[in-house]
């Protein structure tokens, strides 16, 4: 029988106070895992704890800047002492800056790389030793369609997510012999509060131009939802995926497989 249970597992999902990280962590809780999350601000951690409590989930929240290696090492040590050894890590925390490349400051580029690529390296590095001692673990990196595609104004984000794809493959290559599987999830365009302005109806009742663009480019003819990510995330965290390693699972409604409609 295929086992998707996460009973008795401890899952750390970074930046999971809301949005995609919150949805993934909630799915893990439904599958039986104990949830640990962090955020960079105390008020976000408190907000997250309240949101989990509303769902009947007893989560453990910590304040931590995942780009700070000393803070991350301290975080992992505290989790191991107060909750237990981390079985599942989801590197979800991320940022994006939509700035034309020729207008982007090098400091802004570095900030995106720091959060979206360096932080997954730092957090993964911190949890791997205990995973080795325990006999295995799961690392899931939240990649992007920009791990494969470029687009206007997202040079730093695309560079970071492309690098994260290769970091995923390298962790799989380096630590597979220790029964550690490292895979990625590449969300398509997901309907969240952050993308809500792009889906608002125009004054004349028509769709926002970007909304029309995304729906036309997606074979599923809709935006994804955070619920669409729950099944793939549970699969990659469970023993059902024990021989899946170094794979990026794109949950995009088919965008990457589709060349688009011929203009009329």
CA 170 to chain centroid: 18
Residue 211, both tokens: 């909304």
The helix/strand/coil state of 148 is: coil
Q: Is 258 a catalytic residue?
A: no
| Cα–Cα dist 115/195, whole Å | 20
In our burial notation (b when 16+ CB lie closer than 10 A, e otherwise), range 150-188 reads eeeebbbbbbbbbbbbebbbebbeebeeeebbbbbbbbb
As a whole number of Å, the end-to-end CA separation of the chain is 50
Query: What are the residues whose beta carbons fall under 8 Å from the beta carbon of 3, sequence distance 6 or more?
Result: 238, 239, 240
Residue 158, both tokens: 């695309």
DSSP H/E element including 89: strand 88-91
91 phi, psi to nearest 5 deg: -85, 90
Q: Which of 28, 157, 189, 250 is catalytic?
A: 157
Angstrom distances, CA of residue 142 to CA of 57, 117, 216: 23, 10, 24
Q: Are strands 88-91 and 34-39 parallel, antiparallel or unpaired?
A: unpaired
Query: What value does the CA radius of gyration of the chain take, rounded to a whole number of Å?
Result: 18
Which residues are known catalytic residues?
A: 157
């Amino acid at each position: 029988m295929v086992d998707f249970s996460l009973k008795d597992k401890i899952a750390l999902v970074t930046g999971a106070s809301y949005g995609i990280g919150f949805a993934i962590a909630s799915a893990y809780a439904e599958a039986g895992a104990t949830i640990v999350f962090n955020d960079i601000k105390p008020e976000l951690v408190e907000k997250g704890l309240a949101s989990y409590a509303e769902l009947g989930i007893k989560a453990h929240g910590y304040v931590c800047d995942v780009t700070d290696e000393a803070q991350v090492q301290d975080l992992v040590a505290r989790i191991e002492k107060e909750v237990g050894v981390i079985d599942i890590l989801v590197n979800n925390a991320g940022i994006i800056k939509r700035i034309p490349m020729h207008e982007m400051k090098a400091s802004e580029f570095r900030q995106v790389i720091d959060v979206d690529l360096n932080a997954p390296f730092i957090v993964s590095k911190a949890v791997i030793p205990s995973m080795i001692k325990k006999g295995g673990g799961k690392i899931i990196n939240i990649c992007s369609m920009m791990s494969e595609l470029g687009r206007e104004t997202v040079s730093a984000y695309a560079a970071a997510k492309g690098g994260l794809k290769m970091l995923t493959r390298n962790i799989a290559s380096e630590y597979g012999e220790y029964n550690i599987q490292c895979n990625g999830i590449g969300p398509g365009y997901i309907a969240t509060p952050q993308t809500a302005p792009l889906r608002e109806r125009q004054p004349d009742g028509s769709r926002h131009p970007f909304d029309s663009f995304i729906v036309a480019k997606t074979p599923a003819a809709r935006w994804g939802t955070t619920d669409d990510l729950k099944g793939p995330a549970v699969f990659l965290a469970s023993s059902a995926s024990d021989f899946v390693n170094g794979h990026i699972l794109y949950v995009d409604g088919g965008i990457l497989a589709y060349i688009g409609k011929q203009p009329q």
